[in-house]
Structure 1
Amino acid sequence: MVLTTSETRGARSAQMARIRARDTKPEMRVRSALHSAGLRYRLHAKGLPGKPDIVFPRARVAVFVHGCFWHQHPDPACKLARMPKSRLGFWRPKLEGNRARDERVRVELEELGWAVIEIWECQTKSAQLAQLVEEVRDIVRARAANG
């Protein structure tokens, strides 16, 4: 069966509509790992720039769980962060805009005295996640102690 252009666009539109901004699989993996490590947090702090995915208010630590494609993970080993081959006129500015916004949000949060941690989607699928949880725990404990 050959799809016409309109059917292809409709299928793509339906696929894109299923992509969620919150409670994604990578975010849920991180939240579960942090909770299992004994860390308690708040979700999606609306009063902070960028509405971080996970927030440790007392320690002033904000965690973003970024999708490698949508936020263009800069690690060259990441296979999820590839640039699409079609419609570059649409995708390049969109994805570069996401990266620029991420950087602006990071700077705003740091100027407000927050530590910002980025966890990438590809890091949540491996043994790397346990190491990242330990790093988050160390940062949260150190900042809470210095309070």
Structure 2
Amino acid sequence: MDTVDKKTRSRIMASVGQRDTGPEMRLRHILHRLGLRYRLHDKKLPGSPDLVFPRFHAVVFVHGCFWHVHKGCQFSTRPSSRKEFWEKKFEANEKRDKRNYEALAASGWRVLVVWECAIKGLKDSELADLGLLVANWLKSDERYREIGKDDVA
């Protein structure tokens, strides 16, 4: 059972942003401090990646664990009401993400997914470690990678 009425739930869900989220902003700040420059939300690329590094021919997505179904993550919960609706929603999100990654790879772009849980609750020193992890990936030849909480801790 939902704890708020339909109108309130609709307002809450409508306010969930897709850009400039807290985790995305924290990652952007640390990468900028490391001297890395990027473009934001390039609509010409599949999926409008959160960060685009043309110099490295790489893109970074900062994904929310709930919306993009980060398997095994404590933040990737399933609502108990309207199960069929949510299953379809999550499945569509996963398929869309996969299509975007494949289209980017086919165009020669490298893809990094940084999960919300890898950023959430980090102290500044730990955030610097995450920034270095991303910077090292950018300089590598690795085509695809995901960074979650376990990769930073």
TM-score, normalisation: structure 2:
0.82
Match of 2:40 in 1: 43
Partner of 1:72: 69
Task: Give 1:12 deviation, angstroms.
Answer: 0.3
Paired amino acid for 1:92: E
Q: Provide the aligned C-alpha RMSD in A.
A: 2.0
- 3-state SS of paired residue (1:65): strand
1:1-147 paired onto structure 2 within 5 Å? 8-74=5-71, 76=72, 78-125=73-120, 126=122, 129-142=127-140
Q: How many residues matched?
A: 137
Query: What stretches of structure 1 of length at least 5 have no aligned partner?
Result: none
**Structure 1 residue 138, shift from structure 2 partner:** 1.8
CA distance in 2, matches of 1:26, 1:9: 28
The amino acid that maps onto 2:93 is N
Runs of 4+, deviation exceeding 4 Å: none
Deviation at 1:58, TM superposition (A): 1.7
Give distance in 2, aligned partners of 1:27 and 1:101: 20
Structure of greater Rg: 1
CA distance in 2, matches of 1:65, 1:102: 12
Distance in 2 (CA, whole Å) between partners of 1:142 and 1:100 is 27
What TM-score do you get using the length of structure 1 for normalisation?
Answer: 0.86
The answer for unaligned runs of 5 or more in structure 2 is 142-153
Query: Which amino acid in 1 is paired with 2:102?
Result: V
How far apart are the structure 1 equivalents of 2:107 and 2:137? 17
